Every structure is written in C-alpha cells, then in structure tokens.
Structure 1
Amino acid sequence: MQKGNIGVTTENIFPIIKKFLYSDHEIFLRELVSNAVDATQKLNTLASIGEFKGELGDLTIHVELGKDTITISDRGIGLTAEEMDKYTGWVSILPSW
C-alpha cells in the first residue's frame, strides 16, 4: 500500500466542508441537531458541577417544520471562542464577520 499525506489549508477547508458535508441535506440537519444536543448537554453538565446557577427548564430540542423552513431550537450553551480553539482549532481560521 502506498502512503502519502493530505494537506488542508485554511483557504480550502471551508469549501471542502460545504461541498462534502453540508451539501447533503440529511447530514446537514443531523449536524444541526447534534450541535443542539451538545449545547444542552453542556448546560446540564455545568449545572451538575455548580457552574450554572439558573433554572435548567425544559432541555428538549425542538424541530419545527414550516412550509419552506426548518427551525431547530434549544436552550443550551454554545462554545466560547476559547473552547472552539481548544477543541477544534477553528478559531484561528474562522472568518471575522
């Protein structure tokens, strides 16, 4: 078997992600729901160790289908910039909007 390296730079990673991951609607939807699960799990974990003092409330992830839309909603907490850098290394390559 021949061995080699694959090089991915910041200039070409987002087109690759868009084309091969997010162009498939089922994968895209699953990724959005997965992100919502991660966000609600983070909130639940922070509450269990005493770092979140508020009321958890309903942590159900809701998916609503409209005529031309899909809405996914949750009450979770997303990643901070520091967490994104620590866990994904993406902060340095994200566009500044």
Structure 2
Amino acid sequence: MLEYYELRDESNSPRYKPGDIAIIDRDFDPIPGDMVFAFVAGRDEHQYSIGKYVPCDEAQFEISPINPAYPSFSTRDCVIQIVAPIVEWHMSEKRERPPRKK
C-alpha cells in the first residue's frame, strides 16, 4: 500500500528538502541502508522520523538522518517502529523559485 508524506525539516538535507514528498510502501520490509519512515517513541517526545535504516546487531538498529546536525534515534534509547521503506521521492521545485514580480 503506497502512502506519501511531506518532509517538514532539514534533517535529510542537502539531498532532500522541506516540501519534498516521500512515497512509502507498507508491503515491503526495509533492508540495511534503506531510507525509512518510522515512528519514534521515547526521549522527550513522540514523533515521526525519516532516515537511513542502520542495523547495529540482530536486535538493535538506528534511524540516521542524512544531515549530521540532527540526532540519530536508536532502539537502545527509545522505541522505534518502522512504518515502511521509502520507495520513491518527489522533489519540490517551488522552494527554488523567486517570488513573482508585481
């Protein structure tokens, strides 16, 4: 089942920017290195996150954003439920356009 989510922060820049659309497919499990859409519960809040799926061992894994200024989430520190791997990206062009001249 395909679903889409709009990026809202810079956690995966410069490759992906706010306004870009991530298409996920719940019919597939992620493999190491896949970008995934995940629900993270713990630390100080509950949130959805997009990042690279990085297995640490057979029982633990991390979700790591591309931008090193943002923190990774680890199953050592919080509960992470991978919703689905990202199977396609749609890049927003509107962020590059200057406003219309009047």
Shorter-normalised TM-score: what interval? Answer: under 0.3
More helix by share: 1
TM-score (norm 1): 0.22
Which protein, 1 or 2, shows the higher relative CO under an 8 Å CA cutoff with sep ≥ 6?
A: 2
More strand by share: 2
